[in-house]
Structure 1
């Protein structure tokens, strides 16, 4: 039997294949004596030819029952198992595959191939730790996290995102377009398709989602495309932060910046911002606009004789009369201490002179008739028209209306309108 094993080894070694293979190869007889080790095997375990493998490798005084070689000698089949060995460099991991060597149907020896999988195991361990770390972050993050496929389906949604919208993961699976505000869908789809097609790898936006209860939230969304080694799209990793509170605060601040605190009307800044838009719209539509410039006469007298509190009340009452006298679509503003403007959109000139101004005068008359106050509301006004065939700026229109208002003030000598 020894001679047959030796001939097998000599034939194997003569081909040069054993040393060309990077894996360790060893041959043991049925008594577990090592007859051969290739160079790679010796580099891993040292030269132990002539020794019993269970003593040389495992340092046991007896045969290893679970060793692949032991199993081979029992049933004549090929067996594979994973082993770890403590070396000078630390713990090493190996995959050992053992197969029988037979002569005339009898097992005379076993050949083992040892593959060093230490690096692979370390990589797997790092990946496993990273996956556990991601899973922990995914499940405990206060920010919504979702994973979408190339069709926009929500493959994974974390608890924070589910709680944000009030849906279960199963309800969210069908896709992000079903929970996105209609006004935001087109832009979202455009950027999403660019991600899938490889035109971009990242995008950030603010969008609106529908909650299950019908409410709307604002969210800050950051999406990153994850691709394979060939650059093909795998999935999107999306972070979603609820910014509804911030948006509401911003809206309040914006409104405060363009709103007169006393009357609730638009202030001068609000007037110019909105009037510029109306001018552009009128020019495109070739429609007219009318600007009324009003001055509350005698405000200084009211302040001096009745007190500033009553002066504020006079301004507030004037604002309320203007609101009752004009349409909701008209732009009503307080642009200065006692000065108001009203921008009328698309009325006919007869309506302005014969209907609208008369209606304003009637409301002022009724207010003053009720009496009971230490003052009457008296206003002077001027009306300027924006003609799209002779376009002008809002500043020019305001200046013209202001001049006409002062002409009216002079004519009536501070009398009621």
Structure 2
């Protein structure tokens, strides 16, 4: 019995020794694992910090900011960040050498908007961010969002303003693709009726803000039914396409030229001294003559045109402008019919 007890105690002692050894090994492994976990956490934080630092560095390089110092309401110095290089292709030093470089980069059709933004700012008003186009150094166009923050002295006078210029070209391209898919006439490439009404309202608001007059032309292609019935629908389509081409050649890119019905077209434009009603009508006539003189032209193009005007002093809604121009167009058409009958 004593021998058996001694054997059992020896086995127990051996098992206890092994357990203690294994426990010590596990504690050592756990300690090493804890160190590895702590090191991994430290490295992950270091990596995250480095990535954030790199992001800020890249942001500082690619973000285009500028600052304009004012004295007595006039700009005395302008500085541009290195971000101008990535967005426009121009180095900050280029602006220092040519004080008028920025103005020359603005798309001509957008310059009055930028000038008005600055005028409002200098008048002491806070201004909303403005979206407009710039010409890059390579001649390509880029859409930007120009946000301005004014800094005032203790008397409330603006002594400096800082600007942030962001590239919004990708968004503008997507917006344009969506508009093109639903707002264009498939045959002529002009705006359709929906596109005309959508963009015309925006154009009228722009004219009102600029205190400029609006001209609306309602245009009908004469003898369209005769062309279809006598020369065929293919020639009818060709007549519509040629008319659209003549109108595109007459009007500016900023004008809204649309085919709003079968043989009916409408154009909305902001009037100025160089582009007034008489000048426009003359240009339309010359463009139609040029189309009729084209080799292979079969159907003779002739247009009946009605016009209405909305001024800054006496404005009118789009529906009224369209109705007045439509009425004037039909009056011209009736005069033509009476002249042929005579």
Give the TM-score of the pair, scaled to structure 1: 0.45
Is contact 2:216–2:307 with CA below 8 Å preserved after alignment? yes
- Unaligned ranges ≥5, structure 1: 1-50, 60-84, 95-115, 139-145, 155-172, 183-212, 219-243
Distance 2:338 2:286 in 1: 18
Is contact 1:292–1:341 with CA below 8 Å preserved after alignment? yes
Is contact 1:318–1:377 with CA below 8 Å preserved after alignment? yes
* Alpha-carbon offset, residue 121 of structure 1: 3.6
Structure 2 residue matching 1:265: 3-state secondary structure: coil
Higher RCO (C-alpha under 8 Å, 6+ residues apart): 2
* Alpha-carbon offset, residue 325 of structure 1: 2.4
Distance 2:44 2:303 in 1: 74
The match for 2:197 is 272
Distance 2:231 2:304 in 1: 21
- In structure 2, the CA distance between the partners of 1:350 and 1:121, relative to structure 1 (3 Å rule), is closer
1:407 matched to 2:335 = no
- Unaligned ranges ≥5, structure 2: 1-12, 64-82, 89-137, 144-168
Residue number among 67, 87, 90 corresponding to 2:23 in the alignment: 87
Structure 2 residue matching 1:147: 3-state secondary structure: helix
* Alpha-carbon offset, residue 346 of structure 1: 2.1
Distance 1:278 1:410 in 2: 31
The match for 1:18 is none
* Alpha-carbon offset, residue 308 of structure 1: 1.3
Is contact 1:152–1:176 with CA below 8 Å preserved after alignment? no
The match for 1:11 is none
The match for 1:288 is 213
Cα deviation code 1:58-105 (max 9, x no counterpart) = 98xxxxxxxxxxxxxxxxxxxxxxxxx7339x82238xxxxxxxxxxx
Distance 2:291 2:141 in 1: 42
Is contact 1:295–1:340 with CA below 8 Å preserved after alignment? yes
The match for 1:74 is none
- In structure 2, the CA distance between the partners of 1:349 and 1:402, relative to structure 1 (3 Å rule), is farther
- In structure 2, the CA distance between the partners of 1:392 and 1:91, relative to structure 1 (3 Å rule), is farther
Is contact 1:93–1:121 with CA below 8 Å preserved after alignment? no
Residue number among 333, 341, 345 corresponding to 2:258 in the alignment: 333
Is contact 2:214–2:311 with CA below 8 Å preserved after alignment? yes
Question: How many pairs are equivalent?
Answer: 231
Structure 1 residue matching 2:321: 3-state secondary structure: helix
Distance 2:174 2:195 in 1: 18
The match for 1:120 is 34
1:389 matched to 2:293 = no
Distance 2:251 2:263 in 1: 19
The match for 1:299 is 224
1:148 matched to 2:52 = yes
Give the TM-score of the pair, scaled to structure 2: 0.54
The structure with the greater share of residues assigned to strand is 1
Distance 2:305 2:257 in 1: 14
- In structure 2, the CA distance between the partners of 1:292 and 1:415, relative to structure 1 (3 Å rule), is farther
Cα deviation code 1:93-132 (max 9, x no counterpart) = 38xxxxxxxxxxxxxxxxxxxxx8478347437748x949
Residues 338-357 of structure 1 mapped to structure 2, 5 A cutoff: 338-348=263-273, 351-353=276-278, 355-357=279-281
The structure with the greater share of residues assigned to helix is 2
1:322 matched to 2:226 = no
The match for 2:304 is 380
Larger radius of gyration: 1
- In structure 2, the CA distance between the partners of 1:214 and 1:289, relative to structure 1 (3 Å rule), is closer
